[in-house]
Chains A and B, each alone.
Chain A
Amino acid sequence: MPLSRFVLFRVWLRLFLLQGSWNFERLQGLGFFFALFPALQKLHGEDRLVTACQQHAGYFNTHPYLAPMVAGAVLKLETDRQQGLDPAVDIQDFKDMVAAPYAAIGDALFWGGLRPLAAGFALLFAVKGIVLAPLIFLVSYNFLPLCFRTLGFIHGYRAGLQSLEFLQRHHLPDWAIRIKEAAVVLLGGLSAFLVYLQCQGQAVPKGFGFLAIPVVILLGLCARRGTSTLLLVLLTAAAVVCACLFGVDPTGWM
């Protein structure tokens, strides 16, 4: 008997708490059991329920936005097995197989790509003093993750093992790189905007603003070599305060 919509909805909701008991031994393991439990309870009789739960409380870690797709596919495989269909792949193997690649893709796409892009976009409004900037960030960021969480779950449950093809077909890691490139360009524009407004406000000659490029590149190279952000922030702040206090007048150099 396939799972009812209500049970699936409960699992979907619980997936939002996936990382609630994140620990260093099994990472999201316990959370994955917690999310799947309503469905497992429906699928398995008393005898198999304990082993199934223990299996799903084992080591597991993937990206929280792609976990619904894994959960959906796992539920499909569990349902198939319950109906006596021979699953093409062992459920535990399936989890092991998809967890790390999905994590890698999610990290690149959402944390590494979409977040800087949405942040850069919203900050453009924040610089202008528009108080709705946080809302702009939330809407522009969350659209894609919510699609992945909802549609991914449905797709995972419908397609089961075949949900893997989704990943192959769409070359998501390459999309992640495109988004990151867009984010870099946007951050360039944002920086220019900030510097321009400041030059205008302080009546500094505009050409002076181009000095921001070598400064940022220098700081970026420091960051690449592993200098901590905290150190860079405090040093930069100290340098700026000193420069202003001792009356360094960059306009005089030009």
Chain B
Amino acid sequence: MAKADSGEKGGGLPVVDIFLGSLIALICGLDRVAALQLMVSRPIVAAPLVGWLLGQPEVGLQVGLLVELLWLSRLPVGAVIPPDDTQVSIAATVLAIGLATTTGFQGIGFVLLCLLVAIPFGKCGQFFDRYARTCNGGSLRRADSALAAGNFAVAEHQHLLGLCRFAVAALATYLAIILGGGLLVPLLAPILLSGLERSAGWLQVALPLVGVAVILGTINVSRALTLFAASFGMAFLLMWLV
């Protein structure tokens, strides 16, 4: 529940939190496309990681649980760029933990508020990512002329420069969400927090269910909805009766 007193520091996020978050944002952001693909970038990993670094892994786990399924069905196939759920989950966790210490708002309702504010910013991740990839086209042309001249080290260097662009894009997305969230969350908190607090339990169910629904709607399985209904009914009955 929101604590009224405490606001001795006013709004604002602790710089340390932002910095620690940006480290994870960098590593996980690169994992998305540019390097490794070990799926450290999934919200279920990235958000608890930040939470753990900031001392509250359970907040990160909450965020990861809520975001993980939402855009899971948007596959990065070919030139398609899905919304940046990595940075959404990292930034939402940083906001929820950082703003709680400075503004005094706390609780699951506040985590949900930070998350709901952060989610629409996932779109700006697509923008930055696309920009990085467009700039990589310039690298390609420089690499081409370097290769033609037999200058292999330069060509290799151009490839690595692409990694830097993806890193910058990830950080830009992260900072955009932090900035937008840092401004919006303290404004919206007095209005929305009591409502969110009261509906927190149902929201925590609703968000993953939306994610499941989107997956079912777009997955390449015939009769996905039937399978889902059968499995849900079966599992639910078992838990109810046993």
Residues of A within 8 A of B16 (CB): none
Q: Which of B152, B156, B213, B227 makes the CB contact (< 8 A) with A181?
A: B227
User: A22 contacts B201, CB within 8 Å?
Assistant: no
B205 sits at the interface (CB 8 A): yes
What is the 8 Å Cβ interface bit string for chain B, positions 34-45, against chain A (1 contact, 0 not)? 111111101011
Residues of B within 8 A of A217 (CB): 213, 216, 225, 228-229
User: A50 contacts B147, CB within 8 Å?
Assistant: yes
User: B232 contacts A24, CB within 8 Å?
Assistant: no
Total interface residues on A, using CB and 8 Å? 94
- Interface with B: A1-9, A87-95, A162-170, A220-228, which one? A220-228
User: B162 contacts A20, CB within 8 Å?
Assistant: yes
User: A213 contacts B159, CB within 8 Å?
Assistant: no
A111 sits at the interface (CB 8 A): yes
A residues with a Cβ closer than 8 A to B are 16-17, 19-27, 29-31, 33-34, 37, 41, 49-50, 53-54, 57, 61, 64-65, 103, 107-108, 111-112, 115-116, 119, 122-123, 126-127, 129, 131, 133-134, 137-138, 141-142, 145, 177, 180-181, 183-196, 198, 201-202, 206, 209-210, 212-213, 215-224, 229-230, 232-234, 236-237, 240-241, 243-245
Query: What 10 pairs across the A-B complex have the smallest Cβ distances?
Result: A21-B162, A188-B231, A223-B217, A219-B213, A244-B199, A23-B136, A192-B235, A224-B217, A220-B217, A192-B236
Q: State whether A16 and B35 are in contact (beta carbons under 8 Å apart), knowing that A29-B140, A188-B232, A192-B235 are contacts in the complex.
A: yes
A33 to B158, CA, bound (A): 11
Q: Which of A16, A22, A103, A108 makes the CB contact (< 8 A) with B133?
A: A22
A208 to B63, CA, bound (A): 26
Q: Which of B159, B215, B224, B240 makes the CB contact (< 8 A) with A30?
A: B159
Q: State whether A184 and B216 are in contact (beta carbons under 8 Å apart), knowing that A189-B235, A191-B209 are contacts in the complex.
A: yes
Q: State whether A111 and B75 are in contact (beta carbons under 8 Å apart), knowing that A26-B140, A230-B122 are contacts in the complex.
A: yes
Residues of B within 8 A of A216 (CB): 209, 212-213, 216, 228, 232
- Interface with A: B7-15, B64-72, B178-186, which one? B64-72
B residues with a Cβ closer than 8 A to A are 33-40, 42, 44-45, 48-49, 52, 57-58, 61, 64-65, 68-79, 83, 116, 119-120, 122-123, 133-134, 136-137, 139-140, 143-144, 147-148, 150, 152, 155-156, 158-163, 166, 192, 195-196, 198-199, 201-221, 224-225, 227-236, 239-240
Q: List 25 A-B contacts (CB under 8 A).
A: A22-B136, A22-B162, A23-B140, A25-B140, A50-B147, A107-B75, A123-B69, A131-B57, A134-B45, A180-B220, A180-B221, A187-B69, A188-B231, A189-B232, A194-B209, A198-B201, A206-B236, A213-B233, A217-B225, A224-B217, A229-B71, A230-B83, A233-B210, A236-B209, A245-B199
Q: State whether A237 and B232 are in contact (beta carbons under 8 Å apart), knowing that A116-B219, A138-B39 are contacts in the complex.
A: no
Nearest CB of chain A from residue B143's CB, rounded to whole Å: 6
Residues of A within 8 A of B69 (CB): 119, 123, 187
